[in-house]
Amino acid sequence: MPTVPHDPDAALMLRVKRGDRQAFEALVEKYKQPVANLIYRTLPDATEAQDLTQNVFIQVYKSRERYEVSARFSTWLFTIARNLCLNEIRRRTRHPADSLDVTHPEHDDQPLRQFEDVRMFAPPDSVLHGELEEKIREALTDLPEVQRTAILLFREDLAYEEIARILECSLSATKSLIHRGRETLRARLKPYLRTGEWRERD
């Protein structure tokens, strides 16, 4: 089995695969907010973002027996989150009047019912700053999906290599997406953001 050095979260997921409920709880606690941040910026409706965040972790749990360590756990997790977001966007396009259909765990997924707090994340900090949040939402919405996702994952401190794998892009293309997207956001949000808010990362 391929291994990923220095990834304690992958080790936790392997424990989940063996039936360790506390390991799953630890992963939910660590990642529910970063996943929620990504989803909220993609589908900026707090209730639906909560529902889809819950669905991500339901999918993680349901996939536990098939889990293999071929990448960092965060790469696998955010790939699931992105795919569910894309599915929801496509579903909305086909059926714009429908609300999100929340997936519920089966009876044999008892541990999932212990994690209702996965729905109780805090929206991104800037939600509290009305006009700024609206401008950020508008600016992000105007970006192509792949570029928006790249920037959001970058803001969650994922490495360029992880982001490239999630997006199925080359490393150079990923860096270019992030650089150009951040330049666009910097220009759009300059009146609202403090100096250095969107500075480039080495």
Q: What integer pLDDT is reported at residue 98 of this predicted model?
A: 58
Query: How many domains in the chain?
Result: 2
Q: Which of 123, 140, 158 is the last residue of a domain?
A: 123
Last residue of a domain, one of 123, 153, 170: 123
Domain ranges, residue 149: 126-202
| pLDDT score, position 183 | 92
Per run of 10 residues, the mean pLDDT along the chain (length 202 residues) is 72 96 95 91 81 94 93 95 91 65 49 48 50 79 92 92 95 96 89 55 54
Q: What is the pLDDT of residue 137?
A: 80
Distance CA 55, CA 100 (A): 10
56 and 153 share a domain? no
- Enumerate long-range contacts of 135-144, CB under 8 Å, 24 or more apart: 135/188, 135/189, 135/192, 136/189, 136/192, 137/41, 137/44, 138/188, 139/184, 139/185, 139/188, 139/189, 140/41, 140/185, 141/44, 142/188, 143/181, 143/184, 143/185
Closest to 82 in 3D by CA, of 12, 14, 147: 147
Confirm if 73 and 7 have CB atoms less than 8 A apart: yes
Q: Are residues 116 and 177 in the same domain?
A: no
The CATH number assigned to the domain holding 27 equals 1.10.1740.10
pLDDT at 191: 78
Neighbours of 56 (CB within 10 A): 26
Q: Residue 158 corresponds to which tokens in the numbers above?
A: 């994922």
- Model-level pTM? 0.76
Nearest to 192 by CA among 114, 127, 122, 136: 136
Question: Among residues 123, 157, 179, which one ends one of the domains?
Answer: 123
**Together in a domain, 88 and 185:** no
